[in-house]
Structure 1
Amino acid sequence: MERLDGARGPRSPDRRGLPARGLRRGHPPAHRRERPGDHARDRGLGIALSPGFLSAFVFPSFRRLWIGAFLSSIGTWTQDVALSWLIHTRIGDPFYLGLRTFASELPLVTFMLVGGAQADRVDRRRILLVSQVFQMSMAGALGVLYGLERLGIGAILVIAFLTGLAQSQSAPTYQATLTSLVPHDHIPNAVALNSLQFNLSRAIGPVIAGLLLARVGTGACFAANVLSFVAVIVAIARIELPPVAALGRESLGQSLKAGIRHVVESPILSALTLLGATASLLAFPLITFLPVLAGDVLHTGAPGYSLLLTSLGVGAIAGAVTTAHRGSVPGRGKLMLLAFMACGAATVGAVLSGRQWLAMALLAAAGFSLTTAFSTLNSLVQEHAPNELRGRVLSIFGLAFRGGMPVGSLVAGGLVNAFGAPAVLAAFASALFLIAAAIRLRNARLRAL
């Protein structure tokens, strides 16, 4: 399954099935019928969820989607670590690490706007189911080719591109679905919990990958990812989806233009979208080139790489938990910019530290700050997106956010060969710090959010 948070694409929706108690087909979506306290009775759960940290879990459809996405994301991270290590050890050129990221994100950048328009027009369950089944088959193809000893860089790049193509349609659909499963005042908590599941899986997946790589082999990581798709497919079948708003005779082109016009004419949405593109370009090459840092700089091998990625994930989990508990409070714009600055400073220290334990500690701090920043940014975009334009607004933001990743990874990949991973990653992180600091000083509108 593709990742849900901010660092890569989507996951599943809802329907058929056994919504909240007493709900039948034709009734309103589950979240509109639930009331605070229903969670204590829902399917015998019998526990009281925190009204702050876990408040969105009160709604069964959101809870099912979260669990399915979480299990599937673990499989995705397990496969991703195995692939990155395979490229690093077999090919030895860090450029190909960046090229794989570029190949997977290019179709997202190219076709995500179409996916956002479709999310406001077409049955969302169908989009998400088709996407997950297709991505499951791509993970299976990796495993089969590896087992036949035919998995070269060409096949890896083609499969990455096709997987990204599927995600370009499901990513905006997932994002639009996510916040439709809870009332508006629960959106910040829902976004933060979605970030939490992504980062929990990022902490757990690399550990599983490290164990499988050491004891079984790379093929087992591909098999684990294939199996993980079952969880999200089941979740899609059981979630209760609200209906898509009718758009009358509006064409696909007109839908796209309406979404773009709204974002361009909104000072807040346009500023948040530009910030998302810039921050993702500068922040995410760190994850792409962690294998180089572990293997060639720290000399700690696959176990060290797994520990670095896990440290980043542990910090991100703490950041997501804190953000979920904070909810919708004043001053989130200032907090977001300070978090980007803190992430830049911690990353510089991590990549220049030269010691595994110190790099792990600083990466945990970077993960905390980065998740706080991007989760807050995402929730602010969601809150300012009108319901009838939500899929299109989120696809435009997703285009900017995810478009920055492949560009940053590709540029960094070329520079790493010339200047080394520590210098390049430190330069990117320093630029992130300076840009966030400048925005904090000069943009009063974002500071006021």
Structure 2
Amino acid sequence: MALIPSFFARTFRAFRYRDFRIMWMGACASTIGTFVQQFAQSWLVYDLTKDPFFLGLDLFLGQLPIMMFSLFGGVFADRMDRRKMLLTSQYIQMACAFLLALLFATHVVKVWHILTLSFVVGLGQSFGGPAYSALLPTLVEPVDLSNAIVMNSIQFNLARIIGPTIGGLAYTALGATWCFALNGVSYIAVIATLLLIQVKFVPPKTRERVMTSMGEGIQFIRQRAGMSSLIVLAFCTTLFGFSLNGFLPVFVQTIFHRGPETYTLLLVSSGAGSICGALAVAAMEKTKGQRHLTLLILIGLGIVTAVFAQSKWLPLSCVLLFLGGGAIIASASLMLSLAQLIATDAIRGRVMSVYSLAFRAGIPLGSLALGKLIPVFGISTSLAAAGVALVAVSVYFLFATRDVLSATPYASIDARID
């Protein structure tokens, strides 16, 4: 029986830290609101246009500012008060949510309104994201950083289950306006937690040019063996492997011929798998062979994506999304943990902005490409091709390269942080 307390103590060890617990709860509440809105927004964009391209365009515009400005956000995260940067980001996103609610309430909303506000939200995230990535490691001791990253992934994926469920109920019972309003209210939670935590990082005073500081971050990445490969792999992972959820409304309406309740079921299946995958990574002891494990997980994700694309049986599709959700979060957590552990606090914002740029850039580019391919080749063929491409990339890194995911051996990391 003692094994059970030991398992929980090991799995949830990051919650020993007060500030991390506070941030976790605030971020979870806010992310739930985000998924409530995302449910309504994705469904309405496709419902209004009946064109997968606009669904992909909405996802693309939400990520475009991150590709354009996150490198600058990383520089500022190393120069400015990270809490103030995050607060500003939350204010921008909250205002956009309430504005969208107002547009729906007054029945004047157009597709271009949704697309424009997606871009503005992405603009706020392009500066808030690097600040959050740089702030998170300062809330726990280095030895518990990997666990904190996984716990942060769990709150994200817990929100992926709760958010669409609330979104589906709110959309059906109250309408889209309330989905956007609930998201606006949810930002109050993360704003409150940001005001409660103690930020230890003190930004150094510098007159160095922004471009020079940015160059230092890129140079750091180039000089670390394997870091460049890690960033390329992160980009390919999201480019080919994160298309499952983005085009679920197309599957629901064209393959299953169902309504929003089926869309909710599929999202919940993916979110449940993600939580299980994150818990499995959190419970892992530090072991060798994580490079091979990550790549094998990505190969499995590609296979699951290709099979899901051909499935026309809803129960099988739910199972595949469960497995896909677990594979996505497990591989992403392993890669992110290594990237965080390699960076020092003084340069963390810049290093993580480059990594986040690569990781997140694949999402809109993949969505935009699929949005153009689906009308030509169909949703099943297009998504299956993405899955096969992810398998090919992962196999290449598994057998043709030796440095990926080995920029800093885990043994060396353990020696450094113990």
TM-score (norm. length: structure 2): 0.94
Equivalent-residue separation in structure 2 for 1:397 and 1:257 (angstroms): 14
1:262-282 deviation digits (Å, cap 9, x = unpaired): 112222211111111111111
Aligned ranges for residues 135-150 of structure 1 at < 5 Å?
A: 135-150=93-108
Please tell me the residue identity of whatever aligns with 1:396.
V
User: 1:330 matched to which residue of 2?
Assistant: 288
Secondary structure at 1:267 match in 2: coil
Inter-CA distance 146–312: structure 2 relative to 1 (3 Å threshold): same
Indicate the structure with greater helix content.
2
Counterpart in the other structure of 1:16: none
Q: 1:378 aligns with which of 310, 327, 336?
A: 336
Hey, what does 1:436 align to over in structure 2?
Answer: 394
| 2:240 and 2:390 in contact (8 A); partners too | yes
Residue in structure 2 matched with residue 342 of structure 1 by the alignment: 300
Match of 2:373? 415
Instruction: Choose which of 258, 261, 269 in structure 2 pairs with 1:303.
Output: 261
Contact 2:65 2:122 in 1 (8 A): yes
Q: 1:48 to 1:67 in 2, by over 3 A?
A: farther
User: Residue 264 of structure 1 corresponds to which residue in structure 2?
Assistant: 222
What is the correspondence of 1:48-447 to structure 2 with a 5 Å cutoff? 50-246=8-204, 248-446=206-404
Q: How far apart, CA to CA, are the structure 1 residues paired with 2:60 and 2:192? A: 30
Question: Residues 420 and 284 (structure 1 numbering): CA distance in 2 closer, same or farther, change over 3 Å?
Answer: same
Cα distance in structure 1, aligned partners of 2:111 and 2:374 = 19
When the two structures are superposed, what TM-score results if normalisation uses the length of structure 1?
0.87
Which residue identity is paired with 1:70?
C
Q: Distance in 1 between matches of 2:147 and 2:403?
A: 23
- Post-superposition offset of 1:355: 1.1
CA contact (8 A) 2:150 2:278 kept: yes
Structure 2: distance between partners of 1:78 and 1:422: 27
1:360 partner amino acid: C
Is the 2:235–2:358 contact (alpha carbons within 8 Å) kept by the matching residues of 1? Answer: yes
Deviations 1:121-174 (A, max 9, x none): 001111011110111000001100011111111101110111101110010100
Task: State the one-letter code of the partner of 1:119.
Answer: A
Q: CA deviation at 1:48?
A: 9.8
CA distance in 2 between counterparts of 1:423 and 1:49 reads 42
Contact 1:108 1:168 in 2 (8 A): yes
Relative to structure 2, which stretch is displaced further, 259-268 or 244-253? 244-253
- Compute the displacement of 1:68 (Å): 0.4
Q: Find the aligned partners of 1:210 and 1:329 in 2 and give their Cα distance.
A: 41
What is the CA-CA distance between 1:49 and the residue it aligns to?
Answer: 9.5
Opposite residue 248 of structure 2, the aligned amino acid is: L
Cα RMSD between the aligned structures? 1.5
Secondary structure at the residue paired with 1:61? helix
**Greater mean deviation of Cα atoms: 360-369 or 208-217:** 208-217
Instruction: State the identity as a percent.
Output: 37
Distance 2:60 2:170 in 1: 26
Instruction: Look up the match of 2:413.
Output: none
Moved over 6 A (4+): none
Q: 1:126 corresponds to which letter in structure 2?
A: K
1:194-246: CA deviation from partner (whole Å, max 9, x where unpaired): 11110010011111111112211111111110111111011100011112342
Q: Is the 8 A contact 2:305 2:324 kept in 1?
A: yes
**Which letter maps to 1:201?**
A
- What residue ranges of structure 2 are gaps of 5+ in the alignment? 410-418
CA distance in structure 2 between the aligned counterparts of 1:327 and 1:380, rounded to whole angstroms = 15
Greater shift in the superposed pair: 246-255 or 143-152: 246-255
Question: 1:38 maps to what in 2?
Answer: none
- 1:355 maps to a residue whose letter is W
Q: Quick one: which amino acid aligns to residue 189 of structure 1?
A: N
Mapped contact 1:207–1:310 kept (Cα < 8 A): yes
Query: 1:53·1:325 contact (CA, 8 Å) conserved in 2?
Result: yes
Distance 2:227 2:137 in 1: 17
Retained in 1: the 8 A contact 2:338–2:405? no
**2:10 partner SS:** coil
8 Å Cα contact 2:229/2:405 also seen in 1: no
Deviation larger for 238-247 or 335-344: 238-247
Aligned residues: 403
Distance 2:226 2:19 in 1: 30
